[in-house]
A and B are shown apart, each in its own frame.
Chain A
Amino acid sequence: AQSVTQLDSQVPVFEEAPVELRCNYSSSVSVYLFWYVQYPNQGLQLLLKYLSGSTLVKGINGFEAEFNKSQTSFHLRKPSVHISDTAEYFCAVSAPGNTGFQKLVFGTGTRLLVSP
């Protein structure tokens, strides 16, 4: 079965500093990988996704992630964060479910706290 590990439950960072949110996955088959962001009292919004091709994926709001098959990682990065980036970030893998349907399996989330 597929699983996702987000080792950091919380990452504090100062405004305009770079940040990396770590995500590792386990799977015996090829997967699709996603990063979602959840702002307070809102639903999840897709930041970016890796399906195939270039291992560096660029998303919205200046975020990017790099797929590393040998390390089974999909870390999220941003070179300079803003206060408005304060949110919960979820890494997810698309995994085969019943009847061939592929469901999203989420990590436990990383809370990014950006301070002035």
Chain B
Amino acid sequence: GAGVSQSPSNKVTEKGKDVELRCDPISGHTALYWYRQSLGQGLEFLIYFQGNSAPDKSGLPSDRFSAERTGGSVSTLTIQRTQQEDSAVYLCASSSRGGVGADTQYFGPGTRLTVL
């Protein structure tokens, strides 16, 4: 597609359940990023992929969070044993080169996660 797509657009889950969030970057973009947007914390960086490897995972808030990217394209963010504080909008972005500060990141519409 023309832009970054994310699914599902909304996810409601119960505390303690695992969830998977999916991101399809712009075709040909080598870099992929996950961010979290919440009321209390604003926009936070979570993880960065260059190709299939993740050189920077410094933003992942706990070991319940993990992410992978396959084929240099689709990425999945997994949250295990969800907690209420995980409720947020999870945004994915991609860029053509990555690791370069000047590179423009293109964002998807986000997945709104609600943990009851």
Contacts and interface: CB of A to CB of B under 8 A. Distances in A.
Interface of A: 31-32, 36, 41-46, 49, 51, 90, 94-109
30 contacts: A32-B102, A36-B107, A43-B91, A43-B93, A43-B107, A43-B109, A43-B110, A46-B105, A49-B102, A49-B104, A51-B102, A90-B43, A94-B101, A95-B101, A96-B101, A97-B48, A97-B56, A97-B58, A98-B55, A98-B56, A100-B99, A101-B56, A101-B98, A102-B100, A103-B45, A103-B48, A106-B43, A107-B42, A108-B42, A109-B43
B25 interface: no
Interface string B1-28: 0001000000000000000000000000
Given A45-B107, A98-B58, A104 B45 contact: yes
Contacts of A104: 33, 35, 45, 105
B43 A46 contact: no
Contact of B101 (A90, A98, A102, A106): A102
A45 B4 CA distance: 11
Nearest to A43: B107
Contacts of B108: 43
A38 B17 CA distance: 30
Contacts of B43: 90, 106, 109
Q: Name, among B43, B45, B91, the residue most crowded by chain A CB atoms within 10 Å (CB to CB).
A: B43
Nearest to B42: A108
B42 A99 contact: no
Q: Name, among A44, A46, A97, the residue most crowded by chain B CB atoms within 10 Å (CB to CB).
A: A44
A94 B102 contact: yes
Contacts of A44: 91, 93, 107
B109 A42 contact: yes
A90 B43 CA distance: 9
A102 B4 contact: no
A41 B109 contact: yes
Interface in B54-95: 55-56, 58-59, 91, 93
Nearest to A93: B101
A43 B4 contact: yes
